């Protein structure tokens, strides 16, 4: 069988992309090194909360979607889209090893005329320098002559029901004009609006701008939370009011710290690359510092709230509400909830958590001690047994009125209690 395209890396980005292409009739091959994901797809089973098994099963049954761990199948593909992780190394430097490894895996099977598109978020130059280098070395082919090369950043918004791959405009930059044309033609089959740009580097830089924009604006709201808080002004009310301005303003919200695969990580891809050009990125780094300091501020607030009740943190039973990094998803990557749990446990608190999407905390590199901990059951006696509940992530399917009815002290980092009927001094906004 010849596939219209392969998607390498079947995670939060790659799987929805596979489904979007197969739904419009393309023959899609999903490739991953994780046999379990491949087996799940072939069995029509989803392993991502917001993707339905029925959707996968339908595409498999229609023979538009297949999956494999065998990279030699790249020989049968007209295009290959790379959606592999781009984390930070232990010194917070970009780690593009997954991209390079994938390039090495597919290069021996690359056919003339094939299109390779990198989708992973990364610094400008990754596609036309680093990836191009391994593809050419491993295939003996030349980019722009023998095969096409492009970059097109993913704009997935997990947990947002209005975020449909087909409707999110897709920025595409090609290594040559012919590469761009080929990539635009492919994406046009599955995505409504394509935004061509002049190079892979512009497309890479676009994605970084989008994510740094979020980081900087969240930092601004985190600062205003402290400043306005000291003035007795509720920053959440201010944001609601500012939101009514129909131009020149876009709301962002403060929180307990950044989470997820993108916002805490991507700015460092630019700051690292900027050094090579003698450019400083103090503004971006400052936003990162502010956001990273938020868990400490939240913990201080919890201390004070307990102190008012003549309790100390040591020995207190604390329930952390929401383990995932953002509302309505099951994704734990870089979740600030785990940072808060570390800090509170470090001060001698007894920690439990509740998260309807995360029944058990999975292993994480940075917080291994929480792996295997199970969410408590949502019931009155259990909630009442805690000295305080700390809302870290506000899932929509939690009953916050019940929380108000059952818990004596709530520290709320998300303004989740805004519509609940609460007692005086019961809720501390942090
Ligand atoms: N999750 C998001 O919301 C989001 C949004 C925009 C951009 N991105 C970017 O997209 C990229 C992928 O992110 P994700 O969230 O899908 O990651 P993920 O961890 O969910 O999925 C990555 C997949 O790649 C596989 N993989 C790792 N090494 C591989 C290899 N050598 N060959 C084949 N497969 C391999 C893993 O097994 C996993 O299934 C990252 O660069 C990320 O920054 C993510």
Task: Quickly tell me which residue has 């301005």 as its tokens.
Answer: 245
Taking the centre of ligand 1 as the mean of its atom positions, its distance from the CA of residue 424, in whole angstroms, is: 45
Torsion angle, alpha carbons of 221, 226, 229, 235, to 10: 0
**Residue 15 Cβ < 6 Å to ligand 1:** no
**Residue 126 Cβ < 6 Å to ligand 1:** no
Per-residue pLDDT of the chain in tens (430 residues, 90 and over written 9): 699 999 999 999 999 999 999 999 999 999 999 999 999 999 999 998 889 999 999 999 999 999 999 999 999 999 999 999 999 988 889 999 999 999 999 999 999 999 999 999 999 999 999 999 999 999 999 999 999 999 999 997 777 776 688 999 999 999 999 999 999 999 999 999 999 999 999 999 999 999 999 999 999 999 999 999 999 999 999 999 999 999 999 999 999 998 888 888 899 999 999 999 999 999 999 999 999 999 999 999 999 999 999 999 999 999 999 999 999 999 998 899 999 999 999 999 999 999 999 999 999 988 999 999 999 999 999 999 999 999 999 999 999 999 999 999 999 999 999 999 999 999 999 9
- Sheet of 28-31: strands edge to edge? 65-68, 28-31, 5-8, 79-82, 115-118, 148-151, 170-174, 194-197
Give the residue numbers marked as catalytic.
262
Nearest-angstrom CA–CA distance, 6 and 78 = 8
Tokens matching residue 60: 């498999």
The pTM score is 0.92
- Among 85, 67, 87, 86, which Cα is nearest to 77's? 67
- Among 48, 45, 69, which Cα is nearest to 56's? 45
**Residue 355 Cβ < 6 Å to ligand 1:** no
**Residue 268 Cβ < 6 Å to ligand 1:** no
Name the residue of 7, 11, 105 whose CB sits within 8 Å of the most ligand 1 atoms, as the mutation to test its pocket: 11
**Residue 380 Cβ < 6 Å to ligand 1:** no
Taking the centre of ligand 1 as the mean of its atom positions, its distance from the CA of residue 137, in whole angstroms, is: 24
């Amino acid at each position: 069988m010849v596939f219209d395209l392969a998607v390498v890396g079947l995670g939060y980005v790659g799987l929805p992309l596979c489904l979007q292409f197969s739904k419009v009739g393309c023959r899609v091959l999903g490739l991953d090194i994780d046999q379990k994901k491949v087996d799940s797809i072939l069995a029509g089973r989803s392993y991502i909360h917001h993707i339905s098994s029925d959707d996968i099963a339908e595409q498999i049954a229609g023979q538009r979607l297949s999956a494999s761990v065998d990279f030699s199948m790249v020989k049968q593909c007209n295009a290959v889209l790379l959606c592999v992780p781009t984390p930070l190394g232990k010194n917070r430097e970009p780690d593009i090893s997954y991209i390079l490894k994938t390039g090495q895996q597919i290069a021996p099977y690359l056919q003339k005329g094939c299109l390779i598109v990198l989708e992973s978020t990364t610094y400008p130059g990754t596609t036309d320098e680093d990836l191009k280098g391994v593809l050419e070395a491993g295939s003996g082919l030349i980019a722009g002559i023998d095969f096409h090369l492009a970059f097109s950043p993913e704009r997935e918004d997990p947990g947002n029901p209005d975020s449909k791959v087909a409707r999110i405009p897709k920025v595409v930059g090609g290594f040559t004009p012919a590469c761009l044309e080929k990539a635009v033609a492919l994406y046009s089959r599955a995505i409504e609006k394509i935004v061509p740009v002049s190079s892979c580097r512009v497309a890479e830089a676009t994605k970084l701008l989008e994510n740094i924009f979020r980081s900087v604006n969240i930092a601004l709201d985190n600062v205003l939370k402290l400043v306005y808080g000291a003035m007795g002004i509720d920053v959440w009310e201010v944001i609601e009011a500012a939101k009514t301005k129909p131009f020149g303003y876009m709301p962002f919200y403060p929180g307990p710290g950044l989470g997820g695969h993108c916002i805490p990580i991507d700015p460092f891809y630019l700051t690292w690359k900027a050094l090579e050009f003698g450019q400083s990125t103090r503004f971006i780094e400052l936003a990162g510092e502010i956001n990273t300091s938020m868990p400490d501020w939240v913990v201080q607030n919890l201390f004070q709230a307990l102190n008012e009740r003549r309790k100390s943190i040591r020995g207190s039973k604390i329930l952390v509400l929401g383990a995932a990094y953002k509302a309505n998803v099951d994704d734990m990557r870089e979740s600030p909830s785990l940072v808060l749990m570390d800090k509170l446990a470090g001060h001698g608190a007894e920690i439990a958590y509740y998260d309807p999407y995360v029944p058990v905390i999975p292993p994480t590199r940075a917080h291994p001690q929480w792996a295997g901990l199970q969410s408590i059951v949502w019931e009155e006696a259990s909630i009442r047994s805690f000295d305080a509940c700390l809302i870290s992530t506000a899932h929509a399917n939690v009953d916050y009125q019940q929380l108000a009815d059952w818990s004596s002290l709530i520290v709320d980092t998300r303004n989740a209690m805004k519509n609940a009927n609460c007692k005086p001094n019961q809720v501390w906004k942090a």
